[in-house]
A and B are shown apart, each in its own frame.
Chain A
Amino acid sequence: MRDVAVIGVGLTKFGELWDKSFRQLIAEAGSKAILDAKIEGKDIDALYVGSMSSGRFVDQEHVGALVAEVSGFSQLHIPATRVEGACASGGLAVREGYLSIASGMNDIVVVGGIEKMNDVGGSAATEILATASDQEWEAFFGATFPAIYALIATRHMYEYGTTKEQLAQVAVKNHANGAFNPYAQYQSPISLEAVMKATMVAYPLGLMDCSPVSDGAASLVLCAAEKAKKYTDKPVKIIGSGQASDTLALHGRRDICTLDATVYAAKMAYKQANLTPKDIDFAEVHDCFTIAEICAIEDLGFVKKGEGGKAIDNKITTLDGSLPVNTSGGLKAKGHPVGATGVAQIVELTMQLRGEAGKRQVKDAKIGLAHNVGGSGATCVIHIMEAM
């Protein structure tokens, strides 16, 4: 296995981007990453793109080749592959790119992630997102995607005394971080009261406990670490990569409040990096709903099971806490164009580890972790990164 580094990153703004098409978004993120890495088309060995449901959001499948085409590579005939794992599609694309370089097959790979979710109406978006759950044995009975995370939240409150206020504090924290991120969908802080009083979506989760419907794209250039210094002074190495699966339906799991896919993917990534949770300086976790961040910091081993709510009270995860979580604003404030999310998390880690995160820069950031979940936890992919 060869070491792999990120040598370039690119993001579009996340949000309701009515004036931009699917093609424009991915081309914009991709060209930014390629310019950042100072590579040319002929240097690229392969391209991986994560997209959850381009077929239903914009009526276009076969987006691997499409991305190569709109990036201007059709005459180079670069191998281009689309990767899908619901909301973890982006993270999986990163891992596929990583593996293809680690294996020795490729030297330089461009990874993209994209979703254009606002071209369909709100109820259609909800329905499409529900395809990440078990359609036949959850969605059929009227369970929405927020409802499935609400089922986790109700049980977490019952077992561990987690409060609705603690859930709300996750949103408040992530919006505070998002205010420092020029790419975020929401760049203004919100009050605890606003989150607590927001329209109920699925008890106990209100509208402000949910990540938004977003358009956006993200891109990375990955390179064999031994060649990375040729392109950049600040390569950031991927030192651990883990992936795991579980049942699609929440009701099929060992424990309602634990995402075992996170536990297993984390174990794999920590082992490869030869690190423990204590060694992580900051993390981007999959906060598609506020309860998801609470479960994530528990399942990643940052706090004990059941103490995720208290971690918010004790301000462990704020920007100036001992373990800042979701410095980008997370899915909650930065936005969640599902296929782009896992790639955008790696962009944030890279910017932090290069010391380029501006007002949201974590002091002495040495090691960062990205945690990307598909569905309610049927897929999880985790990466750990360190500046070279």
Chain B
Amino acid sequence: MKEGVARFWREIPQRYNFIGNKCGTCERVFFPPRESCPDCRRKSMGKMKETKLSGKGEVVTYTIIHVGPEDFEEQTPYPIAIIKLEEGPQVTAQIVDCPLDEVKIGMKVESTFRKIQQDGHTGAIYYGYKFKKLR
């Protein structure tokens, strides 16, 4: 095991369920959830409300990774994109179930729950979101 399990366990609610939060003062939505709003700062303290995100969004930019980290080597080449979610926040994630030459800026996508990586053969399996073309 390379990492302690708690580090990943703590993030399960967000990574599994796409739960972010919203500033009670300016209504700006954040993902992952933040302790305070960078616009309102102290005025947002104690006013951050949990909110479920739709998981739908649009590709802002992308790359196709040909040389991957060791844990992702068997997946290469794979696309990674920055996705702007409907509610406003941007995330970095893989695009799946899509031919590489169809990945484009502006493409509408939706999140899907997938295995992200595994800590060797006997270690923990980490799950999270990837994105596929919106039908």
Contact = CB atoms under 8 A, between A and B. Distances in A.
B39 to A, nearest CB: 12
Looking at A140, A146, A249, the one whose CB has the most chain B CB atoms below 10 A away is A140
Looking at B65, B70, B126, B130, the one whose CB has the most chain A CB atoms below 10 A away is B65
B60 A256 contact: yes
Nearest to B76: A142
Contact of B128 (A140, A153, A199, A200): A140
Interface string B65-97: 111111110010110111000000011111000
Nearest to B66: A200
By DSSP majority rule, is chain A's interface helix, strand, loop, or mixed? helix
Contacts of A200: 64, 66-67, 77
Looking at A143, A146, A152, A205, the one whose CB has the most chain B CB atoms below 10 A away is A143
B69 A126 contact: yes
Interface string B33-74: 000000000000000000000000000111111111111100
B61 A152 contact: yes
B92 A199 contact: no
B27 interface: no
Nearest to B10: A136
A127 interface: yes
A123 interface: yes
A142 B117 contact: yes
B134 interface: no
B125 interface: no
Contacts of A142: 65, 68-69, 71-72, 75, 78, 80, 94, 116-117
Contacts of B67: 126, 144, 146, 199-202
A203 B104 CA distance: 13
Contacts, number: 98
B80 A141 contact: yes
B32 interface: yes
B69 A154 contact: no
Looking at B61, B63, B66, B105, the one whose CB has the most chain A CB atoms below 10 A away is B63
A137 interface: yes
Contacts of B70: 123, 127
Interface string B94-135: 100000000001000000000011000000001010100000
A56 to B, nearest CB: 12
Looking at B11, B62, B66, B116, the one whose CB has the most chain A CB atoms below 10 A away is B66
A205 B61 CA distance: 14
A252 B34 CA distance: 12
A141 B116 contact: yes
Contact of B92 (A123, A126, A154, A249): A249
A203 B128 contact: no
B63 A140 contact: no
A202 B65 contact: yes
A126 B69 CA distance: 7
A151 B75 contact: no
A170 interface: no
B64 A203 contact: yes
Nearest to A156: B61
Nearest to B31: A137
Interface of A: 123, 126-127, 130, 136-144, 146-147, 150-155, 158, 199-205, 249-252, 256
Interface of B: 11, 32, 60-72, 75, 77-78, 80-82, 90-94, 105, 116-117, 126, 128, 130
7 A-B pairs closest in CB distance: A150-B63, A155-B61, A251-B90, A203-B64, A142-B72, A200-B66, A251-B82
7 contacts: A123-B69, A137-B32, A141-B93, A142-B72, A142-B78, A143-B80, A147-B63
